């Protein structure tokens, strides 16, 4: 996973206000998340089976929500909620996930076994979760990543 500083720098390059990137960082890392985001974790009910509806936090059980970027079902619930309540956060949410994906491949990129461009394209095609209405945000993030791959590489590899 990328560090807080890396996320902040890349979000700033993307023109995302720091207040938004800071809230997304806290939310994604489950570290003192803003109240409205914690309410989403604890109060948003998910239909599981039959008549059972449970919260995201309950579904995660003993697992930390820090793994939320690895779970497709959580990403779908997050995106639905953001689309309904905080559309301005969707671009930063996608950017956070993409930067973490790039960081997971940091050693391969640094060793020349992977290019950052391939990593970006692979994430966009294979890992990015999309729900109806979020496609334009993902396109914006993908365009930003492709246009700034060199600068992003420097930020991720050097830190």
Strands 45-49 and 52-55, sheet pairing: antiparallel
pLDDT digits (tens, 9 = 90+) for 45-65: 776 666 677 787 777 765 665
- Quote the DSSP letter at residue 25: H
Instruction: Say what the pLDDT of residue 1 is.
Output: 57
Tokens representing 84 are 């309904």
The CB-side HSE value for 50 (13 A sphere, CA atoms) comes to: 2
For the chain, percent of residues with pLDDT exceeding 90? 59
Sketch the domain layout of the chain as residue ranges: 4-158
pLDDT digits (tens, 9 = 90+) for 100-145: 999 999 999 888 899 999 999 999 999 999 999 999 999 999 999 9
Instruction: Say what the pLDDT of residue 136 is.
Output: 97
């Amino acid at each position: 996973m990328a560090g807080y500083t890396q996320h902040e720098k890349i979000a700033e390059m993307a023109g995302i206000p720091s207040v938004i990137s800071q809230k997304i960082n806290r939310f994604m890392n489950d570290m003192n998340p803003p109240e409205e985001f914690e309410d989403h974790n604890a109060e948003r009910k998910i239909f599981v089976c039959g008549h059972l509806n449970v919260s995201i936090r309950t579904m995660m059980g003993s697992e930390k929500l820090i793994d939320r970027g690895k779970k497709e079902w959580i990403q779908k619930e997050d995106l639905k909620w953001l689309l309904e309540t905080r559309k301005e956060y969707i671009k930063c949410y996608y950017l956070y996930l993409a930067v973490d994906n790039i960081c997971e491949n940091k050693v391969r990129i640094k060793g020349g076994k992977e290019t950052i461009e391939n990593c970006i394209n692979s994430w966009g095609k294979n890992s990015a979760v999309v729900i109806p209405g979020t496609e334009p945000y993902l396109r914006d993030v993908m365009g930003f990543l492709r246009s700034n791959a060199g600068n992003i590489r420097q930020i991720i590899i050097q830190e």
